[in-house]
Amino acid sequence: MTSLSPSASASAAEIAHAAQRMLDGELAAFPTETVYGLGADAENPQAVAKIYAAKGRPSNHPVIVHIAPQGDLSYWAAEVPQEARLLIDAFWPGPLTLILKRAAHIADTVSGGQDSIGIRCPSHPVAQALLAAFAAGKPNGQGGVAAPSANKFGQVSPTRAEHVRSEFPEEVAAGMPVLEGGASEVGIESTILDLSRLDRGAGPVLLRPGHISAAQIEAVLGVQVFAPDATAPRASGTLKAHYAPRTALELASDARLRDVAQGLGLPEGKVVVVAYGDRPAALDARVQWQPVPADPARYAQALYGLLRDLDKQGYARIIVQAPPATDDWHAVNDRIGRAAAAFTLDTTDL
């Protein structure tokens, strides 16, 4: 579990206020160990609609329901297979979202109209306190908070409270709470695993890679984890273009970086290179070199905050060194690849 200094953590009164706002059908933003979430009562379709409106999110794009450790998963899911129980014992609370068959009494507003539902239990202490306070305010004690990342749709996810405030100034001015929780420990969104089609012979299917790897899941289940197929349910953050900064982002091979270092094929203006490799001895004056950790977990933790900082500095392009194509870099490659896909670069100037 994430540990926080008192100065970095929301107070009990602030958490209680945010929980009450969501019980009243309003939005609240809060930290998790992955990224900050924009939350609303998962059983209130009008409140969930406010998430979609604030983010500019397509209505058929599902959100994830967050529950407290003491929450009853069977309240949200029509069935909870043994595979889910094994993974919950191994990884909850933590950055793993399970896609299960949705219980009939849960509205499909959280699943983009599908018969499935994405559920996770975050490990961040502020998130857990908020979820517990929210559930305590429900008549049956079963509170779930629908919460995608607290950013405009398709943009870089927030890993600090100030990111959320800068993304949603109007909502904050109108009274939306943004709970402090320090910098997100993981830094990228949760792993999403589909278990909703096991009875049809499909799965487990990895819909989105994350901090918990396919290999770790396979070690628990003792079976192979498959890649998404044509009939896999839609899930958060799986569109081809996503997680993008406002500055054009290019994913570059090592050969391309050698050209960039010499000033070959650059756009007008300055560019920044985000690289885990060594800085070249000679670097063109138009190129800023930004080192990042060569460790995939530390890289992931730093990625979104770095992209947000670079977005403010007026670069013509962010050029990112392609990480190794290995399993331990799978989640980072997924996020950078989707960010780069948001831009169609003019190849005539490369």
| DSSP structure class, residue 177 | -
Structure tokens at 132: 């517990």
Is 147 marked as binding a ligand?
yes
Is 17 marked as binding a ligand?
no
Is 32 marked as binding a ligand?
no
Q: Taking the chain, what is the end-to-end CA distance rounded to the nearest angstrom? A: 46
278 exposure class (CB count in 10 Å sphere: 0-12, 13-18, 19+): exposed
CB–CB of 149/36 below 8 Å? yes
Q: Is 288 helix (H, G, I), strand (E, B) or coil?
A: strand
H or E stretch covering 341: helix 330-341
Is 166 marked as binding a ligand?
no
For 207-295, where are the alpha helices, taking DSSP H only?
214-221, 254-261
Is 34 marked as binding a ligand?
yes
**Cα–Cα nearest to 210, from 298, 303, 308, 300:** 300
Is 109 marked as binding a ligand?
no
Is 242 marked as binding a ligand?
no
Torsion angle defined by CA atoms of residues 3, 145, 198 and 234, in that order, rounded to the nearest 10 degrees: -110
Distance separating alpha carbons of residues 276 and 292, to the nearest angstrom: 5
Distance separating alpha carbons of residues 14 and 26, to the nearest angstrom: 15
CB–CB of 26/41 below 8 Å? no
Distance separating alpha carbons of residues 78 and 29, to the nearest angstrom: 28
Is 208 marked as binding a ligand?
yes
CB–CB of 110/63 below 8 Å? yes
Is 120 marked as binding a ligand?
yes
| DSSP structure class, residue 4 | -
Is 149 marked as binding a ligand?
yes
Binding-site annotation: residue ranges for L-threonine: 34, 66, 120, 147, 190
Binding-site annotation: residue ranges: 34, 57, 66, 120, 147, 149, 157, 190, 208, 243
Binding-site annotation: residue ranges for ATP: 57, 149, 157, 208, 243
